[in-house]
Amino acid sequence: MNTGVAVQSVVQIGDLIPRGTRMNVFQSIYWVFIALGTLVGVVVVGYMVYNAYRYREGGSHAEDGDDERPTLGEIPTGGGKGRKLFLSFGLSAVVVISLIVWTYGTLLYVESPVAAQESDQEELEIQVVGRQFSWEFVYPNGHSSFELVVPEDTRVRLVVTSDDVFHNFGIPSLRAKTDAIPGQTTETWFIADQPGEYQAHCYELCGAGHSGMNANVVVMQQSAYDEWYANTSGGGGNTSDTSGNASENGTRTTSEALTA
């Protein structure tokens, strides 16, 4: 099945698929699994405790009919000639299959670039280039920087590649992560709903300086971002280093813009 068709089919499920920031989506998956796992665990453990007490050594239980004590080494029918057993198998299958379908649909929405096209929200596309041992971010106007600056509440699409070896770009606080492969591009996206500073890291061993291959991610209010972006220029206008220090051309650093 074509990925685009798959995503369009998933989107039609509607409210069953969580939307919003990637963090919200992954938290939804987490809490659904926690809730269902807890429910199933309580039912299973409760049933085990009930039967352990009922058939305890020296306890009272029916000695005739379908309620006879289970024989050691045999699967008990539970007095229903196997109906309870098959019912439990059926319910388990329904729960597992439902989780698989829902999770697959949710991850398709999160991971596929086509998912962004299903939203009317404005999107900002930024090129990310990894090299030993830094990240470069190229904006639509050609401006490049070693610091990723984005506006809040905006879908940001990252098109990621590498100039040398394999890397993996990730922003853990925003739940965005994808491979950086030489000669190829991969994509990921995120929506940051809180202004502030975050950290991006390389998550694939790429050499002696791997542990220091980090980048600042600055999320600004829209008005501050518009002002910052208007003061940028193409062709590497920002010559800041990997620590996000001020550029030599006099442009304010993003930290200054945040506090302005």
Domain range annotation of the chain: 3-116, 123-259
Distance CA 60, CA 120 (A): 66
Please report the pLDDT score of residue 10 as a whole number. 43
Residue 174 has pLDDT above 80, yes or no: yes
Please report the pLDDT score of residue 92 as a whole number. 86
Interval 97-152: pLDDT, tens: 988 888 887 777 777 654 444 555 678 999 999 999 999 999 999 999 999 999 99
Please compute the mean of the pLDDT values over residues 7-34 and round it to a whole number: 65
Distance CA 155, CA 190 (A): 6
Distance CA 82, CA 76 (A): 8
Distance CA 260, CA 246 (A): 15
Give the closest residue to 104 by CA, choosing from 176, 7, 245. Answer: 7
Confidence of residue 232 (pLDDT cuts 50, 70, 90): confident
Q: What is the largest CA-CA distance in the chain?
A: 93
Lookup result for tokens 């453990």: 45
Please report the pLDDT score of residue 86 as a whole number. 82
Please report the pLDDT score of residue 109 as a whole number. 72
Question: What are the structure tokens assigned to 186, written together?
Answer: 């991969």
Are residues 164 and 131 in contact, defined by beta-carbon separation less than 8 angstroms? Answer: yes
Please report the pLDDT score of residue 16 as a whole number. 54
Please compute the mean of the pLDDT values over residues 212-216 and round it to a whole number: 95
Q: Which of 5-19, 90-104, 111-125, 230-244 has the lowest mean pLDDT?
A: 5-19
Please report the pLDDT score of residue 68 as a whole number. 60
Q: Compute the residue count for the chain.
A: 260
Interval 151-173: pLDDT, tens: 998 989 999 999 999 999 999 98
Residue 15 has pLDDT above 60, yes or no: no
Flag whether the pTM goes above 0.95: no
Distance CA 69, CA 79 (A): 10
Please report the pLDDT score of residue 55 as a whole number. 72
Please report the pLDDT score of residue 20 as a whole number. 55
**Neighbouring C-alpha atoms within 13 Å toward the C-beta of 247:** 19
Interval 73-106: pLDDT, tens: 666 655 566 677 788 888 889 888 988 888 887 7
> Which of 186 and 84 is assigned the larger pLDDT?
186
Residue 22 has pLDDT above 80, yes or no: no
Contacts 24+ apart (CB under 8 A), 139-144: 139/229, 139/232, 141/229, 141/232, 141/233, 141/234, 142/233, 142/234, 142/235, 143/229, 143/232, 143/233, 143/234, 143/236, 143/237, 143/238, 144/236, 144/237, 144/238
CATH homologous superfamily for 123-259?
Cupredoxins -  blue copper proteins (2.60.40.420)
Q: What's the gap between Cα 181 and its chain centre?
A: 20
Contacts 24+ apart (CB under 8 A), 254-257: 254/147, 254/149, 254/216, 254/218, 254/220, 254/228, 255/197, 255/218, 257/220, 257/224, 257/227, 257/228
Please report the pLDDT score of residue 212 as a whole number. 94
Q: What's the gap between Cα 148 and its chain centre?
A: 19
Please report the pLDDT score of residue 21 as a whole number. 66
